[in-house]
Amino acid sequence: MNATIFPALEIPETLAAGPGPGNTDARVLAAFARAGVSDHMQADVLRGLIECKLMLRQLWGTANAHTFGVAGTGWSGLDCMLSAILPGDTVVAFANGTFSGIDGLTIRMKAAMREDLAADPMDPKPAGVTIITVPHGQSVTGDLVARTLAEKRPKWAFMAHWETGSGRVNDLAGFSDACLAHGAMGLVDAVSSLGVADFAIDDYPGVVGWASCPQKGVLCLPLTYAPVSFTDRYIAEVRKTGCASYVHHPVLEARHWGVIDGQDVTTPTYHRTHSAYAIAAFHEALRITLQHGRAAKARDYAFHEAALRAAVMAMGCTVTSDMTSLVVLNLPATLAGREKELVQKARAKGFGIWPTLSEPVQVRIGILNQLSEPAITNIVRRFAAMLSELGADINMTKVLAGLSRHYATAVAAE
Ligand SMILES: *Cc1c(COP(=O)(O)O)cnc(C)c1O
């Protein structure tokens, strides 16, 4: 066998202007690189874990003791949250895009019996799970949730808060109320909303489990932690029924973050080997978000998203999303069908925008960590250049005048 040693891997700096990840703050990267090698039980590493836990409670807006980070990506946190679903459980899941669709698959896998898995190993369809599909581009309404839960009366209900595939905000209050009214335990994918939207999970008592990710609103890509939070009701259920995971066990994993028997302790217990680098980076990312302030950050996202939205509309695009970190759009009619070509050309130039990952094909432009007039103007210019390259006739004077007006109004209003 020939031994092959490849050249050192070089990865360029691009503008991550998609649904996520967002460009990592220099402070987070510095914290990552600055951390010394210390093992996972060293005193400052443990203090960092505990401080991250306390900052996560502030970010989530909760007094839930079981609030911590699951090592990995968004799916890792979701796997931890959904691990409470056992074979044979009844679940209603609402899907309105790519990600809630995959959550639905995870749920079907968790709720599947052996026979269900054997019948369709990659895509099991257990009888107890109902997936309610809401068309792409539409939101899940509280009405729909209430009607469905009243009919099905499941043990668990699931929804994404913000569905990043279609850029839609779903009705969290309606979901929580319906769960309470119909005796379901609510589980929410808050991967895209945490750190962008201003919400406090303790205001939604129908939801017992929450899961987010490191790389979107929390902006800590150096592979770190997916924030999760569980109510006492959820934890009591897991304590009663158990779950089939050691690593993603909601009760056992919390021990390393200093939560034992539902109490905060200063001497955590080993669960797995945490990285001092990851803890240092995550700690800094949480500090940055709390320094910005949950409400102020949400206001800034809404303000800059409105600027980008108006600019792409001035270019002849139509916007179908209502999230504030992401614009999902249809190209001008003359370019319809060329979405993937446009995105590929943009990505080849280091301008990282995305198509939708499920039908219909649309373009997604995100503004994670791009909260300034120069940053939004840069995104607008680069997107306009891509449209022009494909032959669109863009009136750049008008587009930029609109942007200037948007930002001038804000300064005047301050
Ligand atoms: C991004 C995303 C995920 C998956 O997160 P990863 O970090 O890629 O694992 C899941 N759900 C939603 C709503 C998302 O936006």
CATH code of 357's domain: 3.90.1150.10
Distances from the Cα of 179 to the Cαs of 93, 131, 169, 228, 314, in angstroms?
12, 16, 18, 19, 41
Q: Whose CA is nearest to atom 4 of ligand 1?
A: 74
pLDDT of residue 359: 86
Residue 391 CA, ligand 1 centroid: distance in Å: 34
- Are 136 and 97 in contact by the 8 Å Cβ rule? The answer is yes
Tell me the pLDDT of the chain averaged across its residues.
96
> What is the position in ligand 1's atom list of the atom closest to the CA of 75?
9
Residue 75 CA, ligand 1 centroid: distance in Å: 6
pLDDT of residue 176: 99
Report the length, in residues, of the chain.
Answer: 414
Q: Which of 31-45, 128-142, 400-414 has the lowest mean pLDDT?
A: 400-414
Mean pLDDT to the nearest integer, 160-187: 98
SS3 414: coil
Residues 273 and 401 in one domain: no
Give per-residue pLDDT as tens, 146-160.
999 999 999 999 999
Residues 386 and 298 in one domain: yes
pLDDT for 163 beyond 80: yes
Residues 46 and 194 in one domain: yes
Q: Is residue 63 part of a domain?
A: yes
pLDDT of residue 414: 53
Tell me how many domains the chain contains. 2
Give per-residue pLDDT as tens, 92-110.
999 999 999 999 999 999 9
pLDDT for 412 beyond 60: no
Q: Is residue 250 part of a domain?
A: yes
Residues 332 and 390 in one domain: yes
pLDDT of residue 212: 98
pLDDT for 319 beyond 60: yes
Residue 242 CA, ligand 1 centroid: distance in Å: 26
Distances from the Cα of 316 to the Cαs of 279, 335, 346, 398, 399, in angstroms?
45, 10, 18, 12, 10
Q: Whose CA is nearest to atom 2 of ligand 1?
A: 191
- Are 18 and 363 in contact by the 8 Å Cβ rule? The answer is no
SS3 91: strand
- Using CB distances shorter than 6 Å, the residues near ligand 1 are 20, 73-75, 99, 160, 164, 189, 191-192, 213, 215
The alpha helices in 23-170, defined as continuous H runs, are 26-34, 43-60, 74-82, 98-111, 114-119, 142-152
pLDDT of residue 303: 97
Distances from the Cα of 6 to the Cαs of 2, 3, 10, 364, in angstroms?
12, 10, 11, 34
Residues 248 and 365 in one domain: no
pLDDT of residue 1: 64
Residue 191 CA, ligand 1 centroid: distance in Å: 6
Mean pLDDT to the nearest integer, 111-115: 98
* The dihedral formed by the CA atoms of 370, 373, 377 and 378, expressed in degrees to the nearest 10: -50
pLDDT for 413 beyond 60: no
Q: Is residue 105 part of a domain?
A: yes
Q: Is residue 15 part of a domain?
A: no
Residue 1 CA, ligand 1 centroid: distance in Å: 39
Q: What is the DSSP string of 352-390?
A: E-EE-SSSSP-EEEE-TT--SHHHHHHHHHHHHHHHHHT
pLDDT of residue 78: 98
> What is the position in ligand 1's atom list of the atom closest to the CA of 216?
1
Report the C-alpha gap between 53 and 42 in whole angstroms: 17
pLDDT of residue 3: 85
Give per-residue pLDDT as tens, 198-250.
999 999 999 999 999 999 999 999 999 999 999 999 999 999 999 999 999 99
* The dihedral formed by the CA atoms of 69, 73, 78 and 81, expressed in degrees to the nearest 10: -20
Residues 236 and 325 in one domain: no
Q: What percent of the chain has pLDDT over 90?
A: 97
- Are 61 and 200 in contact by the 8 Å Cβ rule? The answer is yes
- The residues near 213 (Cβ < 8 Å, ≥ 6 apart) are 20, 73, 74, 77, 191, 194, 226, 227
Residues 325 and 201 in one domain: no
Q: Is residue 2 part of a domain?
A: no
Residues 306 and 406 in one domain: yes
Q: Confidence band (pLDDT; 50, 70, 90) for 403?
A: very high
Q: Is residue 373 part of a domain?
A: yes
Give per-residue pLDDT as tens, 117-154.
999 999 999 999 999 999 999 999 999 999 999 999 99
Q: Whose CA is nearest to atom 3 of ligand 1?
A: 74
> What is the position in ligand 1's atom list of the atom closest to the CA of 165?
15
The residue among 290, 309, 330 that closes a domain is 290
The residue among 243, 264, 290 that closes a domain is 290
pTM of the model: 0.97
Mean pLDDT to the nearest integer, 75-89: 98
Q: Is residue 54 part of a domain?
A: yes
- Are 49 and 183 in contact by the 8 Å Cβ rule? The answer is no
Q: Confidence band (pLDDT; 50, 70, 90) for 90?
A: very high
DSSP 216: S
Return the exposure string of 124-151: e unless at least 16 CB atoms fall within 10 Å of the residue's CB, then b.
bebebbbbbebebbebbebebbbebbee
CA 372 to chain centre: 22
Q: Residue 331's domain spans which residues?
A: 294-413
pLDDT for 2 beyond 90: no
Report the C-alpha gap between 203 and 177 in whole angstroms: 11
Residues 279 and 301 in one domain: no
Residues 265 and 347 in one domain: no
Q: Is residue 96 part of a domain?
A: yes
SS3 228: strand
Residue 248 CA, ligand 1 centroid: distance in Å: 17
Residue 226 CA, ligand 1 centroid: distance in Å: 10
Residues 263 and 237 in one domain: yes
Residues 37 and 169 in one domain: yes
> What is the position in ligand 1's atom list of the atom closest to the CA of 20?
1
SS3 253: helix
Residue of 164, 213, 218 to test ligand 1 pocket, by largest number of atoms within 8 Å of CB: 213
pLDDT of residue 347: 97
The residue among 290, 309, 325 that closes a domain is 290
CATH number of the domain bearing residue 220: 3.40.640.10
